[in-house]
Amino acid sequence: MNPTGRPDDHAAVPLGDGTRAVHAGLPPEEPYAPPLAGPAFAAHYHLPGDPAGAPYTYGRDGNPTWTALERALAELEDPDGTAHALAFASGMAAMSAVLLSRVRPGDVVVLPDDGYNLLARLRERLEAHGARVRRVPTGGEEQFRALSGASLLWLETPSNPGLDVCDIRALAEAAHREGALVVVDNTLATPLGQRPLQLGADVSVASGTKALTGHGDVLLGYVACRDAEVADDVRQWRKIVGAVPGPMEAWLAHRSLATLRLRVDQQARTALAVARALAERPEVSGLRHPGLPEDAAHPLAARQMRRFGCVVSFTLPDLEHAERFLAALRLVHQATSFGGVRSTAERRGRWGGDAVPEGFVRLSVGVEDTEDVVADLLRALDAADRT
């Protein structure tokens, strides 16, 4: 029986991304049973006798709804392998679990200095526990030079919010020569856009809050590991700190996977159209999208990504210009996060923590009609210019 519960004679048939996403993690078919059972709301389970070997004992240790989601995530991240996936209450819970379960006093950790801004808070925690942290920009030779003596290399590619890209395979090979564990934050790409485990990474971590679930209604994170020992460390950390997802959130996430390919394909098409339209505007500078052929990261992204994501970043002349643009948008909502079905945009400088100009805008393209999104952006740019 394969991971989807289908007979083995179907397992060897290559599946497309959309088919895999629809069927991933489903249980074996049973007469009159739903294809995806509802969430299992349970703090405890009937547990007679010796609990050794019991699949479920207590609600913090495991839940059937998590199990189904984790099977699905493992299959999407590593379709031809034996990855171990673990669901968490949020992306930050997943990131923290990997770093704080694996890093010891004296270890050297290499982190991106242009990644998700809460990595800075994790860096402070690691240093407080006696680790040495080297921070380097995504892409370029500095990432390779920082690997000497490293115990863990953390990559975020494409980076958020700058959308730089680094070579996962080459960096993983170099890091493994140093004995380092290689972790890739795959939030922006999703497993349908990029599979870090198949590119040589040891761990793929992501915020499922973003494009994976895609509806802006779930906080979730996950970790996928090639090695069972690493997965066990992360699982124990989850248990100790209690960073577990609720069954309803896990069920919503699993349900949402069925539309993942439809959503990311539409978002990628529109993001590229948006980038091309913005490239024609004289007030726009610093335009980035890895799917744009003119983007500096495109050649590398094209080698290791299958889809280029929903995020476009660019800079307007100043803070006031950016605020006028955002206020003039009608279809595109002002909100943080990215990857949802509704297009959103924000001026990242309002939060602090990101080394970006005051007029820097991160745009997340949703699944609206491409022409409507482009028209809304161009109209808002015109309005911001006239004011």
Identify any residues that bridge with 344 across adjacent strands, giving them in sequence order. Answer: 333, 364
Catalytic one among 107, 164, 185, 295? Answer: 185
Q: Is 254 helix (H, G, I), strand (E, B) or coil?
A: helix
Q: Is 353 left (phi over 0), alpha (psi -120 to 50) or beta?
A: left
Instruction: Tell me which of 123, 210, 235, 347 is the catalytic residue.
Output: 210
> Does residue 265 sit in helix, strand or coil?
helix
Active-site annotation holder among 17, 78, 102, 116: 116
Q: Are 232 and 240 in contact (CB under 8 A)?
A: no
DSSP 270: H
Whether residue 210 lies in the annotated active site: yes
d(CA 368, CA 294): 25
Q: What is the DSSP string of 8-75?
A: HHHHTS---HHHHHHHTTPPPP-TT--SSPPP---SB----S--TT-S--BTTT--HHHHHHHHHHHH
Helices 91-102 and 228-241: crossing angle in degrees, nearest 10, is 110
Q: Is 239 a catalytic residue?
A: no
Burial string for 255-271 (b: 16+ CB within 10 Å, else e) reads: bbbbbbbebbebbbebb
Cα separation, 306 vs 301, whole angstroms: 8
Question: For residue 190, which phi and psi values (nearest 5 degrees)?
Answer: 65, 160
80 labelled catalytic: no
Pair type for strands 221-225 and 181-185: unpaired
Instruction: Name the residues annotated as catalytic.
Output: 60, 116, 185, 210
